[in-house]
Chain A
Amino acid sequence: MTGQEPIKRILLYVDGSEACITAAQYGIALSKSMNAELIALYVVNISLLQELTKARIFVKIEEMDYEQDLEQDGKRYLRYISEMAKSKGLEITTELAKGVVNKVVSEKADNYKADLLVMGELDPVLSRSDSYHDEGELIFRKVKCSVLVVKNPDLVEQVFSNLDS
């Protein structure tokens, strides 16, 4: 595809789940086929850590320790996805941010002028409370650009494997 591609920039939401790896595979495939820039974003969930400290479940030192863990986790995932993209001949941008996850993802989608947000399959929502607290659900509702929720990992794996490197 050449010329006036409708999707020039894709933001990939990385949350450290298996589903986000499937989303990454699909995002890489889309990026290559549409010649679109791919940006992988991981957000350290600072707000949840702070809530746990506020509720006295965490002590401050524990909050800081977990923040480091999450940061390392995020870096590891972003590195892995970057390598996945490289293996298919694609250079991507990665960013690790911190804050209220759904808010940061929404802001970044605006800042990057993303045409599409790609994310992994949402967790099942079984209660009203779930939809208030599930970051995936909140992101899905909050971002202004179109959202692609990637399903069917087996098929996506095939699509990814068949990509030229």
Chain B
Amino acid sequence: MRISELLNESLITLSLQHRDKTGIIEELLDLAVQSGKIGHRSEALKAILDREALMSTGLEKGIAIPHAKSSAANEICMALGICREGVEFDSADGKPSQLIFFLLAPESAAVQNIKVLGQIARLTSDTSIVDALKAAGSSQEAFDIIRKAEGEIGF
């Protein structure tokens, strides 16, 4: 399962309204809820926030990957928030996060869940892709960057 199979333009936002971690997580969760893949919003939110409480998923270089497994998810769902100026996400390097990959998976989808997390890790380890995503002018453009990176529309 690829990132581009989980995302589409409607699951990518370049206009995050919030500037705080919980608000951003809720915004991305709402996108995922709209996709119909999440049964219980409050349960899903609790799972993500409980995971954040263990240690922030704000990484380095402007990347954050809030994630969890929860029975609230009917299937693996993803959303992506892009904020050029960055948002406070309690990141490992103390810098604002610009790419926020939200991932929620059913409890029973451990294999696929870790594979997708591995794919996000690989994707975001490529500086040129990260820079291109941060500079994307639209959801469609961001989605095309990911598809291209995953080889679906060629290099």
Contact = CB atoms under 8 A, between A and B. Distances in A.
Contacts of A52: 114, 117-118, 121
Contacts of A51: 118, 121
B151 A127 contact: yes
Interface in B29-82: 51, 54-55, 57, 59, 65, 67, 69
A70 interface: yes
Given A57-B57, A130-B151, A48 B110 contact: no
Interface string A85-103: 0000000000000000000
A48 B120 CA distance: 12
A65 B105 CA distance: 14
B90 interface: no
Contact of A73 (B110, B117, B121, B122): B110
Contacts of A133: 118, 122
B92 interface: yes
A57 B150 contact: no
A34 B112 CA distance: 34
Report the interface size class on chain A. Answer: 20 to 34
Contacts of B67: 57
Contacts of A57: 57, 59, 65, 67, 117, 120-121
Contact of A59 (B54, B92, B151): B54
Contacts of B115: 48
Given A62-B51, A126-B152, A56 B114 contact: no
Interface string A3-36: 0000000000001110000000000000000000
A70 B107 CA distance: 11
A106 interface: no
A151 to B, nearest CB: 19
A48 B114 contact: yes
Interface string A41-83: 0000100110110011111011000100110010000000000
B55 A59 contact: yes
A55 B59 contact: yes
B110 A70 contact: yes
Contacts of B92: 56
B135 to A, nearest CB: 22
B54 A62 contact: yes
Interface of B: 51, 54-55, 57, 59, 65, 67, 69, 92, 107, 110-111, 113-115, 117-118, 120-122, 149-152, 155
7 contacts: A66-B113, A66-B114, A70-B114, A73-B110, A128-B151, A130-B151, A133-B118
Interface of A: 15-17, 45, 48-49, 51-52, 55-59, 61-62, 66, 69-70, 73, 126-130, 133
- A-B pairs, top 10 by smallest CB distance, nearest first, are A127-B151, A126-B151, A69-B110, A16-B111, A59-B55, A55-B121, A59-B54, A48-B118, A70-B110, A57-B65
